[in-house]
Chains A and B, each alone.
Chain A
Amino acid sequence: MEQSASAARRSGRAARLKVPLAVVAVATAALGIAACSGSGSHGGGNSITVAVSASPSATALEALAPAFEKKTGIKVSFVNLPYAQLAAKVLLSSREPGHGYDVIQFDSPMLASLANGGALADIGPQARRSASYDYADIPTQVQQYAQYHGTTYALPLSTEPYILWYNTRLFSKLGLKPPTTWPQYVNDAKKLSAAGFYGNDSGFGSQIGAYYWLETIYLYGGSLFSGSTCTPALSSPAAQAATRTYLSLLGSTPATAVNGGGNEMTTAFTQGNVGQMINATGYYSIMADPSQSKIPGKFAGALPPTAGPQGHTLLFGWLIGIGKNSSAPSSAWKFLQFALAKSNTSTFIAKGAPPAARTSLLDDQAATKQLPYLPALIGSAKIGVHLPYITQMPQIITSLSQLLSQAATRHPAASQLGQAANALTSAADSSLKSIMSGVDSC
């Protein structure tokens, strides 16, 4: 009895050891392979690391790298950071000497945090000196777009103001013209809704809806703060009127856009049953791509409607800078200079990436043909402003978006709009006040 039991135990044990042993073998082998291929290194004079975020602009940069390597012998390796964690990763890495990225692609809402947190180098002097870059060719608003507290911490990688996109098929069907004033916009929206389409396409999402709400406020001539102070200005008559209009258009907005922001707005727009949308120009490549959209060739861009000469549109777009902790800043600058030179604009456009705005672009025949919205782009860039570059901006956007999203869930009826707009703007103002308490400079 005991013999057979122990024999059973022994053979059982041998069998049972097989699985864990196999696992250990696989693990060690795979670990070895992965470790060998995994280790990378940062910097050194002859190689640079470029942190990018998945986008057509990043694809264009990657496409330009081989030519750069051939020309200068500097090796370029790309690191793809998820957009949502990009700023945090860059900030964390910049705190550790020797571990910063050499070139960093980032978005303008991150500029204040990255610059203030010491992650970016001042590249103003180099930019102005460079003949191939031609700093003067960049419109003033776009130059300022890349500046924090007067210092140029980055170069514009793409210029993407919000413009008015409209569905040309629906417009011609209903005999509409692109609106230049807000009453016209609202009227168009009504007519489109009456005909069974969506007349508007705005975002009310709880993390990013605020951008589109603020866009309407700025188009009405309002702003986040009064002048250059830190006093909230969302209760101004312009902002209130804008908010009332924004809320009134809820009913003619696709639900998917109500739940989100620019991405969802674009998805709805590409379905072909949305008449008007005020959104960034950067979405053009998606809307014009037959594998991603149902409306290639059936839409156009125009200047967004403004409520008077004080109206501004919001500027967005990628920025690209050099890490302050970079161990190869001169090589990094060489890459920037090369990639953003005028001659390479065509590569960006070819990859579907919106180019950085240059005054000389308007004279570029090829560009105008590939980007039919170019006049709207340049025109909007001229009345474009960027949201204040302050480190509290992420918190402001989140808080305002949450309030907006909450207001949207209440589905205010037409008669309650004034009240709802009032409640929203005053809640927003007090939130702004508490976020900005103790801050003097904006």
Chain B
Amino acid sequence: MTAPLRASARYLLLSVAALAAILPLLWTLSTSFKTQVQTQTYPPAIIPGHPTLSNYTGLFAAGGGFVSSALTSVAVAAAATVLVLCVAFPCAYALVRMRPHGRRALILVIMLAQTVPAIVFVIPLYSLSLKVGLYDTTVLLVLVYAGFLTPFATILLTAFVRRLPVEVEEAALVDGASRAKLLLRVVLPMMRGGLATAAIFAALYAWNEFLIPVILAGDFTRPLTIFVASFVTQKTIEWGPLTAAVSLILLPVVVVVLSLQRHLVTGLTAGSIKG
């Protein structure tokens, strides 16, 4: 394939993918300006005939709870991500480069965490959290999210560790670096892309977690996922407020993910020395 043709093929492919990605989101945005009856009209109108802001204003009305839910979600997602990266990074390195004691058991636990349905963990955690006095607190959510996300992050990070050139680390060890120095000053910089990737997804999954906070919190600690779920009532789904909330939530997420993505791009080459 010639270069210009290849470029056009890429453009076509990416455009189709971008379109497929964005159309449902446009629907969400469009619906957030419609009333219920306008949403439930066939054929659906892409641009609402009489757009309304009431869905958005309703979110911020007194006692709405949107802002505090947003703050809770931000706090919990950020803290959980930091915690996950701090524990998963050394663990991933150790699993790949060293043969730590308990390696097999750890992998087994990681596998179990990934394959057993969440509801089964959450119910015993409920009574455990009450006994420890952490029920319905942000701290509990951070710990539990971190617990569920660490297996995922560890696996993801091992993939990036495996790709690192061993010679660099060996050279540093020969130079007399301690294990900690090695990790922080040699490996960490090289893992920037992997850490950014793990951070993006850990944060996203923590942000979007639903079943855990439903059971382990929800009375006074309400992340956004619970807030959004409250628009699904026994008798109806309030599309307007739901899509308005979802649209608003999307904005900070996009900002954070985009800023973390830049680290993805700068890649693994920084810090590695080719002889």
Residues of A within 8 A of B192 (CB): 16
Majority secondary structure, B binding face: helix
A42 to B183, CA, bound (A): 47
Q: A293–B37 contact, CB under 8 A?
A: yes
Partner of A292, one of B37, B76, B226: B37
Docked-complex contact B234 and A54, CB < 8 angstroms: yes
Could you tell me if B233 and A38 are in contact, using CB atoms closer than 8 angstroms? no
Q: Which residues of B contact A38 (CB under 8 A)?
A: 68, 72, 136-138, 220-221
| Residues of A contacting B42 in the complex (Cβ-Cβ under 8 angstroms) | 271
Of the candidate stretches A88-96, A176-184, A244-252, the one touching chain B is: A88-96
Whether B189 contacts A53 by the Cβ 8 Å rule is: no
* Option from B138, B188, B215, B263 in Cβ contact (under 8 Å) with A34: B138
Query: Cβ of B79: which chain A residues have Cβ within 8 Å of it?
Result: 27-28, 30-31
Complex Cα distance, B178 from A174, in Å, reads 89
- The minimal Cβ–Cβ distance linking B115 to chain A, given in whole angstroms, is 23
Residue of B78, B230, B260 with most chain A CB atoms under a 10 A cut-off? B78
Contact A34 B234, beta carbon cutoff 8 Å: no
The interface residues of chain A lying within 8 Å CB-to-CB of B231 are 54
Contacts of A31 in B (CB 8 A): 75-76, 78-79, 138-139, 142
Choice from B74, B127, B270 contacting A12 with Cβ under 8 Å: B270
Residue B21 interfacial (CB < 8 Å): no
* B37–A290 CB distance below 8 A: yes
B180 within 8 A of A: no
- In this complex, how many residues of chain B approach chain A with their Cβ under 8 Å: the count is 51
Q: In the bound complex, do residue B185 and residue A9 qualify as a contact, i.e. CB atoms below 8 Å apart?
A: yes
Closest to A20 in B: B82
Q: Which residues on the A side are within 8 Å of B165 (C-beta)?
A: none
Given A27-B79, A92-B123: A292 in contact with B214 (beta carbons within 8 A): no
CB contact list, B57-81 vs A, under 8 A: 68, 71-72, 74-76, 78-79, 81
Q: Determine whether the beta carbon of A294 is less than 8 Å from that of B75.
A: no
Interface 0/1 of A1-29, CB less than 8 Å to B = 00001001100110010011001101110
A263 with B215: CB separation less than 8 A: no
Number of residues on chain A facing chain B (CB within 8 A): 53
Chain B hits for A83, CB < 8 A: 232-234
B90 to chain A, nearest CB (A): 14
Q: Hey, what's the 0/1 contact readout for A261-292 against B, CB within 8 Å counting as 1?
A: 01100110011000000000011001000111
> Is B208's beta carbon under 8 Å from chain A?
no
Interchain CB contact under 8 A, A35 and B137: yes
Whether the pair B78, A26 counts as a contact (CB closer than 8 A) is yes
Q: Is the CB of B138 within 8 A of A16?
A: no
Q: Does A39 contact B (CB under 8 A)?
A: yes
Q: Is the CB of B137 within 8 A of A263?
A: no
Taking a contact as CB atoms under 8 Å apart, the answer to whether A40 and B136 are in contact is yes
- Contact check, B230 vs A80: say whether CB atoms are below 8 A apart: yes
Tell me which residues from 278 to 333 in chain A have a Cβ below 8 Å from any Cβ of chain B. 282-283, 286, 290-294
Task: List the A residue with the shortest CB-CB distance to B40.
Answer: A267
Contact status B226-A286, CB under 8 Å: no
Q: Which residue of A lies closest to B77 (CB)?
A: A27
Kindly state the separation between the CA atoms of A325 and B270 in the bound complex, as whole angstroms.
60
In the assembled complex, how far is the CB of residue B16 from the closest CB belonging to chain A, in whole angstroms?
A: 30
Closest to A89 in B: B215
Whether the Cβ atoms of B215 and A85 lie closer than 8 Å is: yes
Q: In the docked arrangement, what's the CA distance between A38 and B185, Å?
A: 39
Q: Closest Cβ of chain B: how far from A20's Cβ, in Å?
A: 7
Shortest CB distance B253–A (Å): 14
CA distance A9 to B190 in the complex (A): 11
Q: Which of chain B's residues have a CB closer than 8 A to the CB of A35?
A: 75, 137-139
Residues of B within 8 A of A253 (CB): none
Interface centre among B76, B192, B219, B229 (most CB of A within 10 A): B219
Known: A39-B137, A53-B233. A30 touches B75 (CB 8 A): yes
Most buried by A among B75, B127, B226: B75
Residue of B nearest to A318 (CB): B234
Closest residue of chain B to A30 (Cβ to Cβ) is B75
B71 touches A82 (CB 8 A): no
Q: Mark B10-22, 1 if CB is under 8 A from A, else 0.
A: 0000000000000
B147 touches A (CB below 8 Å): no
Tell me the complex Cα distance, A330–B234, Å. 29
B233 touches A54 (CB 8 A): yes
Most buried by B among A8, A266, A290, A291: A291
If the complex has contacts A34-B72, A37-B68, are A271 and B214 also in contact, measured as CB distance less than 8 A? no
Q: Which of B40, B231, B234, B260 has the most CB of A within 10 A?
A: B234
Q: A31-B75, A39-B136, A85-B214 are in contact. List 20 more A-B contacts (CB 8 A).
A: A5-B273, A9-B271, A13-B189, A23-B78, A26-B74, A27-B81, A27-B82, A31-B142, A35-B139, A38-B138, A39-B137, A40-B219, A54-B232, A82-B230, A83-B232, A83-B233, A85-B215, A96-B127, A96-B130, A294-B37
Residues of A within 8 A of B (CB): 5, 8-9, 12-13, 16, 19-20, 23-24, 26-28, 30-31, 33-35, 37-40, 49, 53-55, 79-83, 85, 88-89, 92, 95-96, 99, 107, 262-263, 266-267, 270-271, 282-283, 286, 290-294
Hey, which bits of chain B sit against chain A, CB under 8 A? 35-37, 40, 42, 68, 71-72, 74-76, 78-79, 81-82, 85, 123, 126-127, 130, 135-139, 142, 185, 188-189, 192, 214-215, 218-221, 226, 229-237, 260, 263, 270-271, 273
